[in-house]
Amino acid sequence: MKATKYTLGVLAVALSILSSCTEKFLAEAPVDQITDANFYQTETDAIQATNAAYSELTKEGQYNAAMWAFDIWSDVSSSGGDSGNDAIEYKQLEAYSIPTTNFIATRLWGGSFVALQRANLVIQKVPLITNISADIQKRCIGEAEFIRAKMYFDLVRAYGDVPLFTAPPASPSAVNIPRTPAAQVYAQIEKDLADAYSILPASYSGADLGRATKWAAAGLLAKVYITEGKKTEAAQWARTVINNSGKTMWANYGDNFVVANENNNAKESLFEIQFVNGRNQYDRNSVGSAMNEFFGPRGLNQTPGSGYGFNVPDPDFIAGYESGDTRRAVSAWVPGDVFPDGSKDPSTPITGSPYAYFCKKWFVGKVNTNIWDSPLNVPVIRLAEMYLIVAEAVGPTTEGLEAINKVRRRAFGLNYNNPSTAVDLTASTPNFINAVLRERKYELAFEFDRWFDMKRAQTLYPTLTDHALIPRMTAQAAFLQGKLPNVHGIPTQNTLVLPIPQSEIDTNPGLVQNPGY
């Protein structure tokens, strides 16, 4: 899939129903249009339809804008950008002053539902195709179930109760259904992933690299269960991946974020968002990643457009790295770091980043002349996270300690299979679960998980009111005068979910807005 990159993607999978005032026209099968009547006939049609569901992952509703918010909204980073309304959609989140028209809330909702409805079409139509091999038929259905589960997992964590569709709406009016209780949504996610695990292949080769495997389904299911607090099930599925997938962690943490290492079946990644370059210039709804440019050091000429400086690391986040943790140099630029051209990150404030910190994890430099167009994939699930899920699920047992310590040893440049008195946690480590959550914070930094972690661990509200983030907020607010009042706001219990987009409320009378909006 990295090679074909969804070029078949949006091949009219969002099919329209044509109308006419004459019976003759309605009686004739259109020969120059792709419709339900002439699509979903062959194996190629099934693959194209499945690719169309994947295609939303590279767009603004997912990993080219919306998902960035979940580190910016947490204690990892701030919006950055220029003055005025630059990055206003993220500044609104930071201020916990989120209008129901917020771009992030609107695009995450819309993009996720587009993808899951395309997946619904695959699940409904592909079983009816006769001109298809059994293996491809099963694979397409399993991939669609994985995508539907992934989208619903994002939606239910971000909005709470959401409308649950397990089939394409039969008519335009059938779209307007009320919100389904979150527990039912989670039950469907669990079902989809368990089924996907049972029918998806263990690996791919060639142009199919990047498709969801059974290990991607198992890994996401472990993540779903730990989110729900179902620790026994979470540990079971994480162990399934660790013990049976054949995956191993890279010896070097930074090797996870190198173009040459993408989709390596022998290593750490379980599922990646597939980006390629050379096909777009200023387009976050195509197949190139905009993160190299948007997150690049602002105005310092290290990227094709000289960098926009979004998603800047927070001072307390940088200060939290332990001495010797190699992940800092992979994830963030700090003053004194040397850029590829030999210049250094300056020690003076830069617009949007008063401490001259910048996100480095998705940096590829001047990869080409196209500005919003990086080829670097985004790992959604990695083997390291499976170890951290086991540690959180089983606590400071022998198994749990070894699991978290593998991740820590690798972080400090050590052989992760060899015990180390210097970095290993022990049974006497205080607040072990907090230690696991802290390890997730630094292991998965800028991989867009932190806000979800803080929310599920019920640490978001206390942290943002009582933690040393308050001095950071004060310093940033002083620096960012004129952008927004109270740039780093204090959340309330009513703002721990996003608002249902106003455009959806306006068109669907069955939707009820989240409290506080």
pLDDT digits (tens, 9 = 90+) for 154-187: 999 999 999 999 999 998 888 999 999 999 999 9
Q: How confident is the model at residue 463 (pLDDT cuts 50, 70, 90)?
A: very low
Average pLDDT score over the chain: 87
Q: Are 47 and 53 in contact (CB under 8 A)?
A: no
Q: DSSP string covering 9-48, please? A: TTSS-S------S-HHHHHSPPSSS--TTTSS-BHHHHHH
Q: Count CB-CB contacts under 10 A for residue 273.
A: 18
Residue 277 token pair: 């370059």
pLDDT of residue 67 exceeding 90: yes
pLDDT band at 9 (very low <50, low <70, confident <90, very high): very low
Q: In the chain, what percentage of residues exceed pLDDT 70?
A: 85
Nearest-angstrom CA–CA distance, 83 and 68: 19
- Per-residue confidence at 11, pLDDT binned at 50, 70, 90? very low
Q: Please check whether residue 298 is in contact with residue 358, taking contact to mean a CB–CB distance below 8 angstroms.
A: yes
- From CA 393, how far away is CA 231, in angstroms rounded? 5
Q: Which of 143, 258, 254 is nearest to 204 (CA)?
A: 143
On the question of pLDDT at 19 being above 90, the answer is: no
The pair phi, psi for residue 370, each rounded to 5°, is -80, 130
Write down the pLDDT at residue 494.
60
Kindly indicate the confidence band of residue 482, based on its pLDDT and cuts at 50, 70 and 90: very low
Domains defined along the chain, listed by start: 1-58+87-213+460-517 (1.25.40.890)
Per-residue pLDDT of 215-266, as tens digits, reads: 999 999 999 999 999 999 999 999 999 999 999 999 999 999 999 999 976 7
What is the distance between the alpha carbons of residues 62 and 80, in angstroms, rounded to a whole number?
20
* Cα(407)–Cα(439) distance, integer angstroms: 8
Helix or strand or coil: residue 413? coil
DSSP 8-state assignment for residue 294:
H
Give alpha helix (H) positions in 245-290: none
pTM of the model: 0.90
Length of the chain: 517
Is pLDDT of 473 > 60? no
Who wins on pLDDT, 266 or 88? 88
